[in-house]
Homo-oligomer: A and B are copies of this chain.
Amino acid sequence: MKPLMPRPSLHWLLLLTAGSILAAAPETLPFPADYREWVFLSSGLGMTYGPLASAPSKPSFDNVFVKPAAYREFLASGKWPEGTMFVLEVRGSSSEGSINKAGSFQSQALVGVEAEVKSGGQWNFYGFGTEQKPGKLFARDASCYACHSTNGAVDNTFVQFYPTLLPIAKAKGTYNSAK
Contacts and interface: CB of A to CB of B under 8 A. Distances in A.
Interface residues of A, number: 43
Contact of A44 (B36, B105, B153, B160): B105
The interface residues of chain A, by DSSP majority, are classed as mixed
Contacts of A107: 163
Copies in the complex: 2
A130 to B, nearest CB: 13
A59 B95 CA distance: 13
A104 to B, nearest CB: 5
A169 to B, nearest CB: 12
Interface of A: 36-37, 39-40, 42-49, 56, 59, 61, 63, 65, 68, 71, 91, 97-108, 147, 151, 153, 158, 160-161, 163-164, 166-167, 179
